[in-house]
Amino acid sequence: NGNAVDSLDYEVIENHAYREEQAQRGKLYVGYYVAVKWFFALLIGIGTGLAAVFINLSVENFAGWKFELTFKIIQKSYFAGFILYVLINFVLVFSSVYIITQFAPAAAGSGIPEIKGYLNGVDIHGILLFRTLIGKILGSIGSVGGGLALGKEGPLVHTGACIASLLGQGGSTKYHLNSRWPQLFKSDRDRRDLVTCGCAAGVAAAFRAPVGGVLFALEEVTSWWRSQLMWRVFFTSAIVAVVVRTAMGWCDSGSCGHFGSGGFIIWDISGAQEDYSFRELLPMAVIGVIGGLLGALFNQLTLYITYWRRNYLHKKGNRVKIIEACLISVITSLISFGLPLLRTCSQCPEADPNAGIECPRPPGMYGNYVNFYCGKDKEYNDLATIFFNTQDDAIRNLFSAKTIHEYSAQSLLTFLVMFYALAVITFGTAVPAGQFVPGIMIGSTYGRLVGMFVVNFYSKLNIEEGTYALLGAASFLGGSMRMTVSLCVIMVEITNNLKLLPLIMLVLLISKAVGDAFNEGLYEEQARLRGIPLLESRPKYQMRKMTAKESCGNQKVVSFPRVAKVADVVSILRSNEHNGFPVIDHSRNGETIVMGLVLRSHLLVLLQSKVDFQHSPIPNDPRGGSAPIRHNFSEFVKPVSTKGISIKDIHLTSDDLEMYIDLAPFLNPSPYVVPEDMSLTKVYNLFRQLGLRHLFVVPRPSRVIGLITRKDLLIEE
Amino acid sequence: NGNAVDSLDYEVIENHAYREEQAQRGKLYVGYYVAVKWFFALLIGIGTGLAAVFINLSVENFAGWKFELTFKIIQKSYFAGFILYVLINFVLVFSSVYIITQFAPAAAGSGIPEIKGYLNGVDIHGILLFRTLIGKILGSIGSVGGGLALGKEGPLVHTGACIASLLGQGGSTKYHLNSRWPQLFKSDRDRRDLVTCGCAAGVAAAFRAPVGGVLFALEEVTSWWRSQLMWRVFFTSAIVAVVVRTAMGWCDSGSCGHFGSGGFIIWDISGAQEDYSFRELLPMAVIGVIGGLLGALFNQLTLYITYWRRNYLHKKGNRVKIIEACLISVITSLISFGLPLLRTCSQCPEADPNAGIECPRPPGMYGNYVNFYCGKDKEYNDLATIFFNTQDDAIRNLFSAKTIHEYSAQSLLTFLVMFYALAVITFGTAVPAGQFVPGIMIGSTYGRLVGMFVVNFYSKLNIEEGTYALLGAASFLGGSMRMTVSLCVIMVEITNNLKLLPLIMLVLLISKAVGDAFNEGLYEEQARLRGIPLLESRPKYQMRKMTAKESCGNQKVVSFPRVAKVADVVSILRSNEHNGFPVIDHSRNGETIVMGLVLRSHLLVLLQSKVDFQHSPIPNDPRGGSAPIRHNFSEFVKPVSTKGISIKDIHLTSDDLEMYIDLAPFLNPSPYVVPEDMSLTKVYNLFRQLGLRHLFVVPRPSRVIGLITRKDLLIEE
Ligand SMILES: Nc1ncnc2c1ncn2[C@@H]1O[C@H](COP(=O)(O)OP(=O)(O)OP(=O)(O)O)[C@@H](O)[C@H]1O
Ligand SMILES: Nc1ncnc2c1ncn2[C@@H]1O[C@H](COP(=O)(O)OP(=O)(O)OP(=O)(O)O)[C@@H](O)[C@H]1O
Ligand SMILES: [Mg+2]
Ligand SMILES: [Mg+2]
């Protein structure tokens, strides 16, 4: 139900309090303000970078320790190893789902649909709280470390956004961690800028892709993008890159345990296939089509399953959520341990001293050619290489060059089907869950499958299966998430191979087009399911034929007079749920004039403080403006992450109810207006481009006072 | 004089003709329209890619042939070689300046300020003509091949924009090369999208940097960016990359003469310095500061010199322009040949078999360690290595790793001073000229100088002078052009070294901040000088205190009644230069109502065709709408690249002048309006975000008919 959510207000409310505050501020203040903004961008970068490093280290250490222990024990008994493996996974997943259900329900899922909604202008309660941040960080360590078919990238984006928002309000209000000084960012507009930075920082940290982060933020929020913001977002991303890099440099000395010394590039394939021939374009297009189909199917299946979960399963309470997650954990462990057991081992290929890849890999190492349940020395288990491994390593193995014929088609197919199914059922459980890494896993599996066929077909060409795996990954993500430029850049940055850019582009174009023929992108579908009313960037086709007036139907506008009786105000506020009301002034000769827009939240502040109540129904100062204001601008600031006061919380005596309030100083005197017969397409553009919340539909004006053209706006400073 | 230029109209004129046309178009048509847009994106990509390849091949062949010949002759006589060198340069530059002055005056300069203006909403006559395209291509071959201190990158951006615009109008109208079918792109809005694609394609082609191209277009045009456009722009850039790559593959077989087989990455330094220590950040910051200072100085000097050129020198006619360019060519040749002669040669370093760099380089090759006027076999001339070379090779030599101590500080300083001076005086001559490559030359020279000091200072660290040269290049471009994200990405893409991204960022941040303390960016300064009124993305500070009404001053609005007498229309159009007029209807009881906005260009069409003239002063159809329209929508389409008809071209008989026209069907019934006391900041945001041309300032409305919120715009298709 769309009525539960409120919109954000990106407009500047130019009421008297605001104007007075502005008047006190000189140019110096503006400079200070800009400096603080940059300082916050720096802090967001550092915070998100550190959070990412923390999550990464924890996940890799938990998982590494788990696999090390398991491998040690299976030397003696496969059964004991299996029990241990299942148990560790179970404990990790249980702790994750317990934290989420008990302390931070808003931290479940990837969080990207919610952030997308926030940046689109929808206020969703609870997504940017301190507890959500903590829940997200700890929860994703548990769920990713516990080996579920989900990733940590989506949650990192949410983490970045949370950090940004909390910094902006100076800490958490609830836990009394807040300080007063940085409370400069009072309007939704300022907060939105911070959250944009945080969102970019999250992507930059998750994929170590600074440019990708900027573009991701940009693609989600294009409607009100400004070039100053772009530069600041970029700065934040670069800071993240520096922080992550520094941490990695520190890990190089071996002090990060199982994390090893992983390079800055996550899956470096810069050494792969140098060139491609035109004949390869056909199989690549096939990969694109497969990606579009499988991606759209993924969206559809997860939509059904989430729908079912929301409306039946999760209604039954937290206990069911916990049991569900634990069950899925056990199933996942069972499959990832059991299936490789059933697979017969393969012979190692001839050792190629140049490639530097050992077969089988030495015990306790990460790499290709895992020896699992294989008898002889020169054997490896190709299914275990991808299944019984951390996801990062599995992807690295799938992308790896110089390992042609490592996988059998049968193993890849088994893995594809099983992992796809696992990813679908895992989606929507009450743990933090990203879809990037599972998507890359699925995509690179079928990509590599296609690559195997191509190697057989065009045997004369210099083809690497790893390149096809990368294209497969891009195609699946494109087919499911339908992101474009940012996805493309992220794929390039995580693999450090600029030369594949045109190919990735081609594959993405195809898979997005194919996917769009079936349904919307993953995040849009999920946002819709959660009742987040996103405004798309393109107006709908039939809006061309509608006018502004038609879109309001024959609604009766609820408005206030300039001087309103308190009793009336209370009763009007009780009688509806609107958040904005026109204020109409009646002059003596019966003419009316629209004075502006007053927000419900401001009215509530006035009712609560009572200082503006007056006995007479006559305006304070008919000429307007010079009456002293008894309020500080900051009283009107909307609190973040709490619902704010409601009309039910306000208690007034019957004397109070007989008083009056003059609304003139508190209203927004210049809301945007549109004439009644403007076509809805134009209204839509105005509304979305400027990030509005309320728009007045008014009669055609009676005269034109002046015309503004470009020349009138060219004012020299 | 800002009055000479007109603005572009990005608004959809929803008059009757438009509505009728829209009504005839079903969903199928929309699909067709989208398909054509993509097809055009493809064509723009191919066209720009081919143009870039053509320019590159020609320049490299001319220059290569020139240097080969000169080197051959100086084996016998340095004097004869010198004469030949000067002569070839002279001929090339002369042909360039001759083409420009005689056929395509709009093709002089870089063209980026003009394109920036176009995308900002300013219509500059002549910049997107067919002759400009040809002049730009041929002219930049001459000027770059002729060894002037300028580059071919800016002109390529202009070339891409021209190709896009010409494709959009279906060819050149003047030279009868136009076809009818693709004339779908009739409004400024559609053309703007095409030009954006072309602009991105130009950058992508110039630097072989597809992502950089997208970001460049984005940074220039953020105000009305939409995500659909982003994807299409990206597609165009990718096509350019494919075309350029294919052409390069073809060159690999040696069929491109002196062009050689240059890789896709222009100055590949991916093998350079792997890591950096924190102690290096200080010298890098110094590079940033130097870049900011030298960049700002460059902007200031070029501003003075262009001002002087425009107002004194170039007023004297084309002959002066030709003489000037030729003079500069001779001076440049003299310096670049003469100075290395004065320099004593240096000893070759110990041969390092791993580096694979020979010293001195073999004759007829490109590379480091040029032997010029050196006696012995194992000697080279470091000044000639950078000065007596094509610019691309010189930059490659400056960026090159594993060549520590190749240059002496004295040579670098000499080169820096001389080249800086040459770049300043060359700027603004009547030839196509880009500032990217000269900027990279200047920047990498002082960057390498700093690098030399760092190598001496921190001698224990693994430092490459080439890395510092790259940072220097970034800092100078940042200090001069003040671009941010796009520049950063371009630098990464031309050098294929993702790992340096945070350092490039840091340097750019510093140099931009330092530069901004002195003056505006190069393109903004030049645009201002040329009278292109750019609207910045940020409203000016004092706009907060102004209202919409104040910004119009006490102008008397020139308006039309609904049914206007032809004689009145003519006299009003003669009496002023405004391009938009309100139409006011007087009802019988004396009330007035604003009907809409009519454009001068539409009025001129009506006056010329005369079919709408009527004898009675009574509206055609008082209820509006159902009168048949005698005009096709396409008659109102604004011609590109011609001034359109003027009121002086229209001849009416005295009978005609006594007739009336009913303007109702031809006006835009819903222009955007603002109430008179809206603050100018808000007006500015509205105007710029929506790309408007005219905005009505109206009295406060008397009532609110309805309220539009997010919910009202969520219409299901
Ligand atoms: N003051 C009002 N008088 C009459 N109708 C209104 C008023 N405000 C909003 N509406 C209408 O009520 C419907 C629901 O809007 P709603 O009340 O949720 O808006 P809001 O709460 O002010 O804004 P949002 O929910 O986007 O934060 C919409 O169709 C809107 O046009
Ligand atoms: N119809 C009009 N009546 C009165 N003043 C106008 C009218 N149109 C424009 N102006 C004013 O005249 C000044 C010059 O504007 P100008 O006439 O060049 O606008 P234009 O030609 O319609 O638009 P542009 O030049 O941006 O294409 C501006 O200050 C503008 O406010
Ligand atoms: Mg509401
Ligand atoms: Mg004008």
Q: Does ligand 1 come within 6 angstroms of the Cβ of B655?
A: no
Quote the strand ranges of A499-654, DSSP E.
560-561, 563-565, 580-586, 592-599
Cα of A38 to nearest chain B Cα, Å: 11
Q: Is B576 left (phi over 0), alpha (psi -120 to 50) or beta?
A: beta
Query: A579 CA distance to ligand 1 centroid (A)?
Result: 6
Of B695 and B363, more confident? B695
**Residue A271 pLDDT class (50, 70, 90 cuts):** low
Q: Show residues of chain B in contact with A694, CB under 8 Å.
A: 707-709
Inter-chain contact A690–B694, Cβ cutoff 8 Å?
no
Q: Show residues of chain A in contact with B544, CB under 8 Å.
A: 22
Query: A681 CA distance to ligand 2 centroid (A)?
Result: 26
**Residue B1 pLDDT class (50, 70, 90 cuts):** very low
Of B406 and A449, more confident? A449
How far, CA to CA in Å, does A142 sit from each of A61, A102, A139, A324, B528? Answer: 11, 15, 5, 15, 58
Of the bound ligands, which one is closest to the alpha carbon of residue B708?
A: 1
Give nearest CA residue, ligand 1 atom 18. A578
Mean pLDDT computed over A341-368: 76
Q: Tell me, what's the pLDDT at A314? A: 85
pLDDT digits (tens, 9 = 90+) for B9-60: 888 787 777 777 777 777 788 888 888 899 999 999 999 999 999 999 999 8
pLDDT digits (tens, 9 = 90+) for A151-206: 999 999 999 999 999 888 776 555 555 555 555 667 788 888 899 999 999 999 99
Burial of B173 (0-12, 13-18, 19+ CB in 10 A): middle
User: What does A315-337 look like in DSSP terms, one character per residue?
Assistant: GG-HHHHHHHHHHHHHHHHHHHH
| Closest-CA residue to B513 (of B280, B212, B291, B282) | B291
What are the phi and psi torsion angles at B555 (to 5°)? -65, 145
Which residue in B250, B710, B716 has the most chain A C-beta atoms within 10 A of its own C-beta, making it the best mutation to test that interface? B710
Rounded distance between C-alpha atoms, residue B434 and residue B413, angstroms: 23
pLDDT digits (tens, 9 = 90+) for A209-250: 888 999 888 887 666 777 778 889 989 998 998 898 888 888
Q: Does ligand 1 come within 6 angstroms of the Cβ of B715?
A: no
Q: Tell me, what's the pLDDT at A99? A: 95
Q: Tell me, what's the pLDDT at A178? A: 52
Tell me if B477 sits within 8 A of B443, measured CB to CB: yes
The H or E element that residue B449 is part of is: helix B436-457
Q: Does ligand 2 come within 6 angstroms of the Cβ of B120?
A: no
- The mean pLDDT value of chain A amounts to 86
Q: Is B690 left (phi over 0), alpha (psi -120 to 50) or beta?
A: alpha
Ligand 1 atom with the smallest distance to the CA of B707 is 31
How far, CA to CA in Å, does B198 sit from each of A361, B58, B180? Answer: 51, 22, 21
Rounded distance between C-alpha atoms, residue B516 and residue B293, angstroms: 10
Rounded distance between C-alpha atoms, residue A488 and residue A631, angstroms: 50
Give me the amino acid identity at B470: L
Does residue B182 register a pLDDT over 60? no
User: What does B512-546 look like in DSSP terms, one character per residue?
Assistant: HHHHHTT---HHHHHHHHTT--PPPSS--GGGGG-
User: Shortest CB distance from A687 goes to which of B3, B548, B708?
Assistant: B708
**Residue A506 pLDDT class (50, 70, 90 cuts):** confident
Q: Tell me, what's the pLDDT at A1? A: 39
Does residue B413 register a pLDDT over 80? yes
Mean pLDDT computed over A442-465: 87
Q: Tell me, what's the pLDDT at B2? A: 41
Query: A170 CA distance to ligand 4 centroid (A)?
Result: 49
| Closest-CA residue to A610 (of A538, A551, A575, A659) | A659
User: Shortest CB distance from B484 goes to which of A11, A234, A496?
Assistant: A234
Name the DSSP class of A350. P
How many other CB atoms are there within 10 angstroms of residue B253's CB atom?
8
Mean pLDDT computed over A328-333: 96
Q: Does ligand 1 come within 6 angstroms of the Cβ of A358?
A: no
Name the DSSP class of B434. B
Inter-chain contact A706–B7, Cβ cutoff 8 Å?
no
Query: B538 CA distance to ligand 4 centroid (A)?
Result: 23
Inter-chain contact B7–A122, Cβ cutoff 8 Å?
no
* 3-state DSSP assignment of residue B102: helix
Please name the residue that has the structure tokens 């072989």: B208
Give nearest CA residue, ligand 1 atom 7. A578
Lowest mean pLDDT among A115-119, B107-111, B251-255, B541-545: B251-255
Query: B710 CA distance to ligand 3 centroid (A)?
Result: 9
Mean pLDDT computed over A451-463: 82
* 3-state DSSP assignment of residue B409: helix
Residues linked to residue A563 through DSSP beta bridges, in sequence order: A662
List helix spans (H) across A610-662.
654-657
Q: Provide the pairing of β-strand A695-698 with A673-675.
A: parallel
Percent of chain B residues past pLDDT 70, beyond the cut:
90
Tell me if A473 sits within 8 A of A499, measured CB to CB: no
The H or E element that residue A697 is part of is: strand A695-698
Rounded distance between C-alpha atoms, residue A318 and residue B588, angstroms: 71
Rounded distance between C-alpha atoms, residue B638 and residue B9, angstroms: 10
**Residue B442 pLDDT class (50, 70, 90 cuts):** very high
Of A27 and A290, more confident? A290
Of the bound ligands, which one is closest to the alpha carbon of residue A580?
A: 1
What the block records as the tokens of A161 is 């956004």
Inter-chain contact A701–B705, Cβ cutoff 8 Å?
no
Inter-chain contact B502–A245, Cβ cutoff 8 Å?
yes
Does residue A2 register a pLDDT over 50? no
Mean pLDDT computed over A628-637: 68
**For residues A672, A677, A680 and A684, what is the CA-based torsion angle, rounded to 10 degrees?**
-10
Does residue A354 register a pLDDT over 70? no
Name the DSSP class of A311. I
Q: Show residues of chain A in contact with B708, CB under 8 Å.
A: 548, 551-552, 674, 683, 687, 694-697
Cα of B469 to nearest chain A Cα, Å: 21
Q: Does ligand 2 come within 6 angstroms of the Cβ of A705?
A: no
Inter-chain contact B30–A238, Cβ cutoff 8 Å?
no
Q: Does ligand 1 come within 6 angstroms of the Cβ of A691?
A: no
Does residue B475 register a pLDDT over 80? yes
Cα B393 versus chain centre, distance: 25
List the single residue in B with minimal CA-CA distance to A595: B700
Q: Does ligand 1 come within 6 angstroms of the Cβ of A575?
A: no
Ligand 2 atom with the smallest distance to the CA of B580 is 22
Q: Tell me, what's the pLDDT at A364? A: 65
Query: B558 CA distance to ligand 4 centroid (A)?
Result: 14
What are the phi and psi torsion angles at A629 (to 5°)? -100, 130
Task: Give the predicted TM-score (pTM) of the model.
Answer: 0.91
Cα A490 versus chain centre, distance: 15
- End-to-end alpha-carbon separation of chain A, Å? 48
Mutate to test the pocket of ligand 1, among A573, A578, A594, A601 (most ligand atoms within 8 A of CB): A578
**Residue B279 pLDDT class (50, 70, 90 cuts):** confident
Tell me if A351 sits within 8 A of A361, measured CB to CB: no
Cα of A595 to nearest chain B Cα, Å: 8
Q: Provide the pairing of β-strand B6-7 with B122-123.
A: antiparallel
Rounded distance between C-alpha atoms, residue A474 and residue A480, angstroms: 10
List helix spans (H) across A75-174.
78-103, 112-120, 130-145, 153-168
Rounded distance between C-alpha atoms, residue B66 and residue B88, angstroms: 7
Quote the strand ranges of A217-314, DSSP E.
none
Does residue B628 register a pLDDT over 90? no
Does residue B174 register a pLDDT over 70? no
Does residue B180 register a pLDDT over 50? yes
